[in-house]
Structure 1
Amino acid sequence: MATPSGSADVRKFSTKGTPITPEERKVIFASSLGTVFEWYDFYLYGSLASIIAKQFFIGDPTTTFIFALLAFAAGFIVRPFGALVFGRLGDMIGRKYTFLITILIMGGSTFIVGLLPGYASIGIAAPIILVILRILQGLALGGEYGGAATYVAEHAPEGKRGAFTAWIQTTATLGFFLSLMVILGTRLATGEKDFEAWGWRIPFLVSVILLGISVWIRLAMNESPAFAKMKAEGKTSKAPLTEAFGKWKNLKIVILALIGLTAGQAVVWYTGQFYALFFMIQTLKV
């Protein structure tokens, strides 16, 4: 959905100088809030990696923790593919219904992690299913994040797209904080021993409430006006991936954004947030 050709279409169908309406503000807020919940789901695993390592993998503490991080990495590897799959879907059937698909995949996968038996109960099937669920979450988030930015941009008035899509950038941080708050509250309520035994599942199970809220929000959202107009006029792309990546002038922008900007940003973010957390838990024993 966040394709170079899509951006051109956004510019084409924007109404210059038109102020954003209260309804559009509501839709943008709802879109951002739904994305916060998806990030919450995605970050739960990283925040609880040290405990998940003990539950789903066997070996010494270092080995199990490395395996847990590799499972975490699986969600990142497939995120670009999720952007391609759901981006194409969003360009063909619309943003609203694609949002519903991604939130259901993300929320369902997170809830299942909370119910998934550990290695002691079902053996090797436990880590295999866990990795599959992480892959599904990565695919869903890959489609969600770019799609949300495109959706918000298509609702923003001319000259305000940067300001409004900046709210989507905050969703990652807010989702991370939300996951830590729920984990901390659960840990304090259950006690350290019970939290490591079974209480860690509660934040995953609680996500079903966020899933219900997210689905309700997404059902109340309107289709992007830019996409609705293009569809009504029969101007939607029949081959969005080919148009976006099959032309060098577009492809070079994608490569520059991915390798030159996004990759570096991701390294800084996850090193600052998660590596610091892992170092405190695994090395400093906090």
Structure 2
Amino acid sequence: MPDNLPAKRAPALSPAQRNNVINILRRAAKAEIMPRFRALNAADIATKSRPDDLVTIADTAAEAMITRALNMAFPGALVIGEEAVSADPTLLDKIADAPLCFIIDPVDGTWNFARGMSVFGVILAVTRYGKPAFGLIYDPVMDDWAIADDQSPAQMQHPSGVTHDLRVSRGGELAGLSGYIPLYLFDHAWREKLAATLCNFNWVNCLRCSAHEYRMLAQGHFDFLLTQSLNPWDHAAGVLICQQAGGYVQMLSGGDYYATLRRGHILAASDKATWNRLARVFKFLNDADQ
């Protein structure tokens, strides 16, 4: 390598470590999630911040199993799960200073899972000082996963060994775009104005599941995603996967996404030109971030 070229940064995880993480999620899904799918009792479901913010025994059991395995495999890393943060929100403050942090959403799309809908997944992100460096979005129903690190293209992988690169859509003019906007997650003060923008687009949807929304975006089936909720377990992996699939993801107010951010709006799009068109439509939301 010539002396004047910077050395390429090593991936956050080695190939062997990546395989280990994949196997950890698959084992947890097999042991703690799928046996409970469509088999939950009322006592297995509880609420958190609001009536539709659910947690089930599958969430807590899977997170505990994944956390134990990651602590054993990466004893020097910080491991943070959604349910652990629900019990102790100060855990989020540790992400910024962690050279290697695992962020887990054991069952993303819990509302769907608890209602017997198969649109849910397991999300795992690795950050370096808050910046996403590895992302994995696993679908326990289909037993496949979208995966990427900050050094290589995003891929869809299957246990059979079949693998293909992911590529976002071509984007384009507003009238031809389809996207995800979870209106229910936005402040009430902005919902009416945000709803009025929907007529600009071909189709706007919400799956109540960041895992599958990011997977659909990275596969090129949808063109954009806008959200106000910045829970790092929902977005750190998906942002990186979409970027490594050729997408353009920034905070609506400008700047890169970090898992340490608590306010603002993530806007993910197929490319920078499409992102700019969308940002002009949604610019009124920046007032909320001031």
TM-score tier by shorter-chain length is: under 0.3
TM-score, scaled relative to structure 1: 0.25
- The TM-score with structure 2 as length reference comes to 0.25
Greater RCO (CA < 8 Å, at least 6 residues apart): 1
Compare CA radii of gyration and give the structure with the larger one.
Answer: 1
Which has more strand, going by share of residues?
2
Structure with greater helix percent: 1
